Amino acid sequence: KNQVEQSPQSLIILEGKNCTLQCNYTVSPFSNLRWYKQDTGRGPVSLTIMTFSENTKSNGRYTATLDADTKQSSLHITASQLSDSASYICVVSPSYGNNRLAFGKGNQVVVIP
């Protein structure tokens, strides 16, 4: 079973609308949780990084939340733009090392005009 589960697998939203992506994880103890944006054919680009003691982190129109008790995180996209069409990957770093990050499969977002 994957240590990081993301939902929904994919979604289509209208330009200008908001959306929320979910990430549930089982990695414990963990050091930090990251959200990456990956455009098609490109490498992942970091959006937010949260330690276990942080509840929220914003980066422009992207806001990530973290509930370490329930082991859940969300990424909220406000006022979506066509350029937000991408895969959003949740990544959890265990406390015991930086070389065994646990990756989700990603949320595929398509923004349509």
Partner 1 sequence: DTGVSQDPRHKITKRGQNVTFRCDPISEHNRLYWYRQTLGQGPEFLTYFQNEAQLEKSRLLSDRFSAERPKGSFSTLEIQRTEQGDSAMYLCASSGTGKNGYTFGSGTRLTVV
Q: Judged by CB under 8 A, which stretch of 11-19, 61-69, 71-79, 97-105 contacts partner 1?
A: 97-105
Residues 88 and 35: beta-carbon distance below 8 Å: yes
Residues 47-86 that bind partner 1 (CB under 8 A): 49
**Sign of the alpha-carbon torsion through 19, 90, 86, 49:** positive
Instruction: Examine residue 29 and tell whether it contacts partner 1 (CB under 8 A).
Output: no
Instruction: Examine residue 44 and tell whether it contacts partner 1 (CB under 8 A).
Output: yes
Distances from the Cα of 73 to the Cα of 9, 15, 21, 69, 91, angstroms: 15, 24, 8, 11, 10
CB of 13 to partner 1, least distance (A): 19
CA distance 73 to 43: 22
Q: Judged by CB under 8 A, which stretch of 13-21, 42-50, 59-67, 73-81 contacts partner 1?
A: 42-50
Q: Which is nearer to partner 1, 78 or 102 (CB)?
A: 102
User: 10, 1, 2: which is closest to 91 by C-alpha?
Assistant: 2
Q: Which is nearer to partner 1, 18 or 95 (CB)?
A: 95
Instruction: Name the site residues for partner 1 (rule: CB under 8 A).
Output: 4, 31-32, 34, 36, 41-46, 49, 89, 91, 93, 98-101, 103-106, 108
